[in-house]
A and B are shown apart, each in its own frame.
Chain A
Amino acid sequence: MFQNLSERLGQVLTRLTKRGALSASDVAEAMREVRVALLEADVALPVVKDFIDKVSAEAVGEKVIKSVTPGQMVVKIVHDALVEMLGGTAPAEGVDLAAPIPVAILMVGLQGSGKTTTTAKIANRLMTKNRKKVLLVSLDTYRPAAQEQLAILGRQVAVETLPIVSGQMPIDIAKRGLDEARKGGFDVVMFDTAGRTTVDDEMMAEVAALRDLIKPHEVLLVSDAMIGQDAVATAKAFNDRLAVTGIVLTRVDGDARGGAALSMRAVTGKPIKLIGVGEKVDALDVFDPSRIAGRILGMGDIVSLVERAAETVDKEEAERVALRMMEGQFDFNDMLSQIRQVQKMGDLKGLMGMIPGLSNALKQAKGLNVDDKVVKRQEAMILSMTPKERRNPDLIKASRKQRIATGSGMSVADVNKLLKQHADMSTMMKRIKKMGGPSAMGAMINRMGGLPGLQAPRGPGGPPMFRR
Chain B
Amino acid sequence: MNESGDGGSSGWFARLKSGLARTSSRLVGGITDLFTKKKLDDATLNGLEELLIGADLGSVTAGRLVQHLARTRVGKDITEAEVREIFAADIAKVLEPVARPLSPDPTKKPFVILMVGVNGAGKTTTIGKLANQFRDHGLNVALAAGDTFRAAAVEQLKVWGGRSGATVFARETGTDAASLAFDALMESRKRGDDVLLVDTAGRLQNKENLMQELQKIVRVLKKLDDTAPHATLLVLDATVGQNAHSQVEVFRSMVGVTGLVMTKLDGTAKGGVVVALAEKFALPVHYVGVGESVEDLRPFSARAFARGLMGLEA
B-binding residues in A (CB < 8 A): 36, 39-42, 44-45, 110-114, 117, 142-146, 148-149, 151-153, 156, 197-200, 224, 226-231, 233-234, 237, 251, 253-257, 259-260, 279, 371-372
- Determine which residue in B22, B58, B59, B119 has the highest number of CB atoms from chain A within 10 A of its CB, and name it: B119
**B128: chain A residues within 8 A (beta carbon):** 144
A142 to B291, CA, bound (A): 13
Given contacts A40-B242, A227-B240, A229-B54, contact A152 B152 (CB under 8 A): yes
A110, B266: Cβ atoms closer than 8 Å: no
Nearest residue (CB) in A for B60 is A40
B120, A114: Cβ atoms closer than 8 Å: yes
B32 on the interface (CB 8 Å rule)? no
Write the B140-183 contact mask toward A (1 if CB under 8 angstroms, else 0): 00000000011111011011100000000000010000000000
B34-91 at interface with A (beta carbon < 8 Å): 50, 53-56, 58-59
**A148: chain B residues within 8 A (beta carbon):** 151-152, 155
- Determine which residue in B54, B241, B270, B292 has the highest number of CB atoms from chain A within 10 A of its CB, and name it: B241
Nearest chain B CB to A173 CB, angstrom units? 17
**A146: chain B residues within 8 A (beta carbon):** 152, 156
Can you report 5 A-B residue pairs in the complex whose CB atoms are below 8 A from each other? A142-B292, A151-B152, A228-B273, A255-B204, A372-B209
B59, A227: Cβ atoms closer than 8 Å: no
Given contacts A199-B266, A229-B54, A279-B149, contact A255 B156 (CB under 8 A): no
A39, B149: Cβ atoms closer than 8 Å: no
B53, A39: Cβ atoms closer than 8 Å: yes
**A145: chain B residues within 8 A (beta carbon):** 152-153, 155-156, 158-159
**Which secondary structure dominates chain B's binding surface?**
loop
Q: Which of A39, A143, A234 contacts B156 (CB 8 A)?
A: A143
Nearest residue (CB) in B for A370 is B208
B208-265 at interface with A (beta carbon < 8 Å): 208-209, 237-243, 246, 264
Top 7 nearest A-B pairs by Cβ distance? Answer: A228-B241, A112-B120, A144-B159, A42-B241, A197-B267, A149-B152, A145-B155
B59, A40: Cβ atoms closer than 8 Å: yes
**B160: chain A residues within 8 A (beta carbon):** 144
B242, A198: Cβ atoms closer than 8 Å: no
A224, B246: Cβ atoms closer than 8 Å: no
A199, B150: Cβ atoms closer than 8 Å: no
Nearest chain A CB to B45 CB, angstrom units? 15
Known: A36-B59, A224-B239. 9 other contacts (CB 8 A): A40-B58, A114-B119, A149-B153, A227-B240, A228-B269, A230-B56, A230-B241, A233-B269, A254-B205
A234, B268: Cβ atoms closer than 8 Å: yes
**A149: chain B residues within 8 A (beta carbon):** 150-153, 155-156
Q: Which of A143, A234, A371 contacts B239 (CB 8 A)?
A: A234
A230, B59: Cβ atoms closer than 8 Å: no
**A42: chain B residues within 8 A (beta carbon):** 56, 241-243
B56, A228: Cβ atoms closer than 8 Å: yes
A186 to B123, CA, bound (A): 36
A113 to B239, CA, bound (A): 10
B92 on the interface (CB 8 Å rule)? no
A254, B206: Cβ atoms closer than 8 Å: yes
A143 to B207, CA, bound (A): 27
**A113: chain B residues within 8 A (beta carbon):** 120
B121 on the interface (CB 8 Å rule)? yes
A233, B268: Cβ atoms closer than 8 Å: yes
Write the B187-212 contact mask toward A (1 if CB under 8 angstroms, else 0): 00000000000000000111111000
A251, B204: Cβ atoms closer than 8 Å: yes
Nearest chain B CB to A374 CB, angstrom units? 12
A145 to B153, CA, bound (A): 7
A306 to B22, CA, bound (A): 46
B110 on the interface (CB 8 Å rule)? no
Nearest residue (CB) in B for A148 is B152
A8 to B57, CA, bound (A): 20
Nearest chain A CB to B47 CB, angstrom units? 11
**B204: chain A residues within 8 A (beta carbon):** 251, 253-255
A112, B206: Cβ atoms closer than 8 Å: no
B311 on the interface (CB 8 Å rule)? no
A152 to B151, CA, bound (A): 6
**A233: chain B residues within 8 A (beta carbon):** 22, 26, 268-269
A40 to B152, CA, bound (A): 36
Nearest chain A CB to B46 CB, angstrom units? 11
**B155: chain A residues within 8 A (beta carbon):** 144-145, 148-149
Given contacts A114-B120, A199-B266, contact A230 B239 (CB under 8 A): yes
A161 to B209, CA, bound (A): 32
